[in-house]
Structure 1
């Protein structure tokens, strides 16, 4: 379906922009910040968006708007739905934490979070280089401000500066790469780029070299957004220095948007060059798995450990993305592509789900003047609260890939996609990934040991509101339930990818 005016395709973005502006005005107009009202309006907005997007995704309709600049398809709608839910959960978990640290003097936290989500929406819906880049910049600029929201905190300010400098560099890489691709193909639209490369126009007059050079810069920019080695330098510092609620905002929902632009740019626009970018992703995935897991072992700070864990998890995600590329007559196999991309989508969704619960426990244990961000801070947690210790243990088992947690099935689906290709190189990558998962299990299980067998260093009661306890319990339960019954979510991912490729 084509929507020439683009309004139907962009309804979620328009609704989010209007709601964000209203919440910002409420914060400015209130002499005494109406924290409760702003919090309520934000949650209602996110819940409404998730419902709208879920219904759209379930309908399975694809709408192209604004002359092909944006597309509303099942994959994009599901990712935006999951991103809205992730931001909803983050806001619920982080309210008390932010209030205790004077981060809610106005509506800045909520407004910036919604604008960051708007950037994710634009990234996911973008079907043109300019639209994707605009969405990416909206997300990153909002993220810079969120990291620096505690202006009196030296660690947060330092993290924001590092994030800004390295983020600007990565944006430059991506923009330069996209400009080279545009110069070689003469098109900014993803479909136009793909047609130009497939038709051979981009290989005429020496454009092939320019196209490959542009591809290198594009992959480098995308690797930074995913936090893949060697473009991972910002991840540990930003995770550690940012307020924990902001760390969750950066480490949760944006991973869904990053996955979307990788699929859009590489899987759609640059699909004819799949054999070229597959080799780059293979190197990035191997380095990420190796560096992420080995560096995480040496960490004593919980947030830094989870940062390196994220790097290794993104390595697994990249394995799924490259698994669909098989050398052949046309360079691609449709079945392998569908299986690989759907396994990657399943992986990133379940990773975000697990990350939400993990940081939810950390936020819950933090209190005014105390950041629960050291591994020793979780010592004896089972004696203080068996429920919260169980949620954290379930998340660690899931990240380690221990059955029957959802992380096990996510890793298994990626490995199956690799093995299905029957390529010796892919089989070798699968074996390497399994070995690195065993290495990673050490630091995940170490945290479980600390919670259940070490003596408590904190003895105070763990206080939490009813909504936080409820959401955290459901969040932890889903990590187990989706591991035992993964078929529904896997089918959603498979149908979304099939619609995209179809």
Structure 2
């Protein structure tokens, strides 16, 4: 029996995730506890098993294809799946008390829809075919729309969901149209076949570039890069904070994965074209994100503009992969971007975890002034938030510094004067960005508290938050292990 099912081996994690999502949906019907304890426990156990499966697959280091080349299982995809699963587990730990206080757990939709969103992420990361990637993308985005609108009685959340839906549909159309242009030019939807067709130089270059523009535009929307960033601040601010973390953490890993699948694995012969586009998007994101964040008083909105600038920095690594037609710098550049996106997700979990912790029934705690005097109320949580802000600002010895340094190193190693100039510009923008991160730290440590309410948290939230903050520091001091993991994963992907 096991031998007959061996053809499913590359997608065992997806099979387990889908089956358990359906089972949990049924189990939840009999769970009447206000915080959906049984559903939450079963969801957490499922995610732990899926994380273990993907981690074991990644550690094996093998690359295999299934379903006629539609699906690929490789170290990069499996490690990103593992990290995305852990990110969702942490998000649910942070978000459950918040969601329960706001009536979002009357049914188990939050847990089941989150698992279907994770399934979409997995399909995106495993896709070796344009249609498979698009299928995963639509599963993720449709789940995200539903999650943003989960508080049906909240007008702001409903408005954010509508904006997200309209703009998301437009971006999906861009991406699908670009894929159709690629199919028309190359005659294939398989990423490897598309690569071979373009490398043969027998395809009309103008048609390819035209399709590439639409693909890059669609990808830019998914990562929230300027000028396709207009949905990010409104959705981050309008969505319930637990959902903001759901759409702002694990999906960013998926966005990085499909950029690698589409642009690097499929369209690398067109690197001279898409690298220029990504460079413009990255510079615009750094400018818009950092300058707009300075003017924000709402912390969620500030972190939304911060995300735009952070994604710009991540794109810089992808820009430096091919220099003068030579791919010698590719593995360093792409692994730097992978390290950056993982570090960003880890830090985002901590920052939004503190926002969720300080929120209470009837009070969102999403304004910067709400953090005034937090150190006097809880030195531990103020310390975790400070670590997260310092890491996002790129200050040593935190993981955010190592991530920024790796990307800048990749830019400089390319030897191209234009990339070295962009690296200098990125450093200047990081200095500008430090202002709004340090402002939050200043408010926590030097302003008088506006409330004497003590900060309390369930044991699981307190434990995970402490580990989250510690990891940001530990990986900053000892980044070698994660950097090596990223480098090996990228090398294995480029080799196939």
Q: C-alpha displacement at 1:28, in angstroms? A: 2.9
Which residue is equivalent to 1:16? 17
Does the CA-based 8 Å contact 1:9-1:72 persist in structure 2? yes
Secondary structure at 2:9 match in 1: coil
Q: C-alpha displacement at 1:202, in angstroms? A: 1.5
Q: Distance in 2 between matches of 1:363 and 1:34?
A: 16
The 5 Å alignment of 1:3-402 reads: 6-30=7-31, 35-203=36-204, 208-327=205-324, 331-333=325-327, 335-402=328-395
Q: Distance in 1 between matches of 2:451 and 2:312?
A: 35
Which residue is equivalent to 1:495? 488
Q: C-alpha displacement at 1:79, in angstroms? A: 0.0
Does the CA-based 8 Å contact 1:4-1:65 persist in structure 2? no
User: CA 1:31/1:489 → structure 2, altered by over 3 Å: closer, same or farther?
Assistant: closer
Q: C-alpha displacement at 1:56, in angstroms? A: 1.0
Q: Distance in 2 between matches of 1:354 and 1:214?
A: 35
Q: Distance in 2 between matches of 1:245 and 1:68?
A: 37
Stretches of structure 1 that go unaligned for 5 or more consecutive residues are none
Secondary structure at 2:317 match in 1: helix
Q: C-alpha displacement at 1:201, in angstroms? A: 2.7
Scaled by the length of structure 2, the TM-score of the pair is 0.98
The 5 Å alignment of 1:418-433 reads: 418-433=411-426
Secondary structure at 1:229 match in 2: coil
Q: C-alpha displacement at 1:32, in angstroms? A: 6.4
User: CA 1:62/1:216 → structure 2, altered by over 3 Å: closer, same or farther?
Assistant: same
Does the CA-based 8 Å contact 1:347-1:410 persist in structure 2? yes
Does the CA-based 8 Å contact 2:289-2:305 persist in structure 1? yes
User: CA 1:365/1:33 → structure 2, altered by over 3 Å: closer, same or farther?
Assistant: closer
Q: C-alpha displacement at 1:33, in angstroms? A: 7.1
Q: Distance in 1 between matches of 2:280 and 2:169?
A: 24
Runs (4+) of structure 1 moved beyond 4 Å? 3-6, 29-34
Q: C-alpha displacement at 1:31, in angstroms? A: 6.2
Q: C-alpha displacement at 1:270, in angstroms? A: 0.5
Q: C-alpha displacement at 1:6, in angstroms? A: 4.5
Deviations along 1:54-100, whole A, 9 cap, x unmatched?
Answer: 11111101111001000000000000000000000000001100000
Q: C-alpha displacement at 1:29, in angstroms? A: 4.6
Q: Distance in 1 between matches of 2:310 and 2:189?
A: 31
Q: Distance in 1 between matches of 2:191 and 2:95?
A: 38
Does the CA-based 8 Å contact 2:51-2:83 persist in structure 1? yes
Deviations along 1:306-356, whole A, 9 cap, x unmatched?
Answer: 0000000000000001111212xxx232x3000000000000000000000
Does the CA-based 8 Å contact 1:5-1:65 persist in structure 2? no
Q: Determine whether 1:453 maps to 2:446.
A: yes
Deviations along 1:196-222, whole A, 9 cap, x unmatched?
Answer: 00012323xxxx221111000000000
Q: Distance in 2 between matches of 1:447 and 1:33?
A: 34
Q: Distance in 2 between matches of 1:346 and 1:410?
A: 6
Secondary structure at 1:71 match in 2: strand
Secondary structure at 1:201 match in 2: coil
Q: Distance in 1 between matches of 2:249 and 2:106?
A: 24
Q: C-alpha displacement at 1:30, in angstroms? A: 4.6
Secondary structure at 1:16 match in 2: helix
Deviations along 1:105-145, whole A, 9 cap, x unmatched?
Answer: 11100001000000000000000000000000000000000
User: CA 1:75/1:17 → structure 2, altered by over 3 Å: closer, same or farther?
Assistant: same
Q: Distance in 1 between matches of 2:7 and 2:401?
A: 41
Q: C-alpha displacement at 1:189, in angstroms? A: 0.3
Does the CA-based 8 Å contact 2:34-2:100 persist in structure 1? no
User: CA 1:31/1:388 → structure 2, altered by over 3 Å: closer, same or farther?
Assistant: closer
Q: C-alpha displacement at 1:411, in angstroms? A: 0.1
Does the CA-based 8 Å contact 1:6-1:64 persist in structure 2? no
Q: Distance in 1 between matches of 2:96 and 2:198?
A: 49
Scaled by the length of structure 1, the TM-score of the pair is 0.97
Does the CA-based 8 Å contact 1:4-1:67 persist in structure 2? no
- RMSD in angstroms over aligned alpha carbons? 1.2
Q: Distance in 2 between matches of 1:347 and 1:184?
A: 34
Q: How many residues align?
A: 492
Which residue is equivalent to 1:410? 403
Secondary structure at 1:202 match in 2: coil
Q: Distance in 2 between matches of 1:29 and 1:448?
A: 45
Does the CA-based 8 Å contact 1:116-1:139 persist in structure 2? yes
Secondary structure at 2:72 match in 1: strand
